[in-house]
Amino acid sequence: MALCLLLVALTGCGGRPATDAARAEVQRLLDRRAAAVLDHDPAAHRATGATTGFDRLRAVPLAAWSYRLKSLERSGDTATADVDLRYRVAGYDAAPVTAGRTLTLDRGTDGRWTVVSDRPAPKAAQQLWDQGTVTAVRGADSLVLGVGQSREELRAFAGLADRAVPAVSGTWRTAWSGRLVVLVPKSLDGMAALLGSPASSYRGIAAVTTGETGAGSAPADRIIVNPDAYGVLGPVGRQVVLTHEATHVATRAHTNAATPLWLSEGYADWVGYRDTGRSPAQAAPELARAVAEGRVPAALPVDEDFGFTGDAAALAQAYEGGWLACRLIADRWGEARLGAFYRAVGEHGKRDGAVEAATAEVLGTTPEDFTALWREYLRDQLGG
């Protein structure tokens, strides 16, 4: 009889381990918490525990918000939960964003669990509301979410994004959402935290785009701005950057491991600079300097050339070289053929042979002959 009573105490009346019962209780707590977020119900959210995140994300238009409990480590009346947060921004996300979160929980004297803290999981990126209260500004084709930024500043970003959308659609000519979500944190450090990387990786880079390459409809792209670098740009430079990043959003479904960075970054720059009236020497000053000094690159930039290692001139030359390669294709074969070349490379699915096949099929030449044409184009366009 004593053994029987002990087993009942350990497993519960239904024979289920006590840890499973706690997991079920915590999952129900998380379900209530998610419903409170979607219902904009502060009282219901407060009943589940800490409310800091709720207050900060009120301005974010949400179509979905849910938690999935992955693991629960319990020690008496406290516990740590490893959770996947899944959410969608209404009108913009075709599929949910998934963010790893770590929740600290407490079980009160009434036997109910509540959330004590909610933070990014180890090695996971922050969400914008982790950095402060989010302000939202809507454009015609854009949603700008910012922390530590005035509404006037965010409206300026919305204007840039709204001008970028038709510029991209007019050149890419392939179906895409035509809508942009722009995140504007307070500083470079805030940008890096949103990307889960050191700030040194993005110093001097005005913006980046997130999202899975080759993801079909590109479920949740975000353009994330580095306000420190963005702030030193002039009006043309700011528009070029937003149009460049919008191009990445539009081309996402056709960009994958087969696509070299000289093509993806070069094409985005080509769209960005297309209507600015900037000459090659103005838009590619580092490469123009190298060509003038007789240092014409022997080959197109490789992916490693696009990593920021502290040599800003070398990084600039990589981007400029990719841009001029795409500009060469548009000038020699036409803008429609440039887009077809981009898509043909992505259709290959893997890097080996992708550029070679697309160069033959779309441009009717070889990578070696194209590189020779590109080197001559640099000399001609940059005055070398």
Count each helix (H run) and each strand (E run) in the chain, helices first.
Answer: 15, 9
11 assigned to some structural domain: no
Task: Give the H or E element holding residue 104.
Answer: strand 97-107
Within-domain flag for 358? yes
* DSSP state letter for 127: P
Query: Does residue 337 sit within a domain?
Result: yes
Which residue do the tokens 């491991």 mark?
A: 257
Question: Is the Cβ–Cβ distance between 90 and 60 less than 8 Å?
Answer: no
Query: Does one domain contain both 37 and 105?
Result: yes
**Residue range 119-137: average pLDDT?**
96
Per DSSP, the three-state class of 50 is: coil
Is a pLDDT exceeding 60 seen at residue 5?
A: no
- Verify that 133 and 211 share a domain, yes or no: yes
The pTM assigned to this predicted structure is 0.90
Q: For position 60, which CATH number holds?
A: 3.10.450.50
Report the number of distinct structural domains present in the chain. Answer: 3
Cα 181 → chain centroid: 10
Domain encompassing residue 375: 256-384
Among residues 221, 251, 281, the one where a domain terminates is 251
The answer as to whether 2 is a domain residue is no
| Res 277 pLDDT > 90 | yes
- Of 251, 275, 290, the last residue of a domain is 251
pLDDT of 220 reads 75
Percent of the chain having pLDDT more than 70? 92
pLDDT > 90 fraction of the chain, expressed in percent and rounded: 85
CB-based contacts of 168, cutoff 8 Å, min separation 6: 176, 243, 246, 247, 249, 250, 271
Decide if pLDDT at 201 tops 90. no
Q: Are residues 115 and 133 in the same domain?
A: no
Q: Indicate the average pLDDT of the chain.
A: 91
- Over the stretch 347-378, which tens digit does the pLDDT of each residue have? 999 999 999 999 999 999 999 999 999 999 99
- Reported as type and span, the H/E element at residue 293 is none
Same domain, 145 and 235: yes
349 and 384 part of one domain? yes
For the chain, how far is it from start to end, CA to CA, in angstroms? Answer: 95
Q: Is residue 216 helix, strand or coil? A: coil
Tell me the mean pLDDT in the region 217-227.
80
Q: In whole angstroms, what is the distance from residue 81 CA to residue 33 CA?
A: 14
CB atoms within 10 A of CB 121: 16
Which DSSP state fits 48?
T
- SS3 label, residue 34: helix
Ramachandran bin of 15, using left for φ above 0, alpha for ψ from -120 to 50, beta for the remaining angles:
left
Average pLDDT (323-352) is 97
Q: What is the mean pLDDT of residues 131-150?
A: 97
For residue 205, what pLDDT is reported?
87
Same domain, 384 and 262: yes
Which of 89, 124, 159 is the endpoint of a domain? 124
| Total residues belonging to the chain | 384
What is the CA 213 to chain-centroid distance, rounded? 10
Q: Using CA atoms, how far apart are residues 178 and 169, in angstroms rounded to an integer?
A: 7
Range of weakest confidence among 6-10, 80-84, 197-201: 6-10
Higher pLDDT, 191 or 95: 191
Residue with token string 């008496």: 76
pLDDT class of 127 with cuts at 50, 70, 90: very high
Q: Does residue 244 sit in the same domain as residue 285?
A: no
In terms of domains, do 114 and 28 share one? Answer: yes
Does residue 40 have a pLDDT over 90? yes
Mean pLDDT along residues 254-277 = 96
302: tokens are 């490789």
Confidence of residue 217 (pLDDT cuts 50, 70, 90): very low
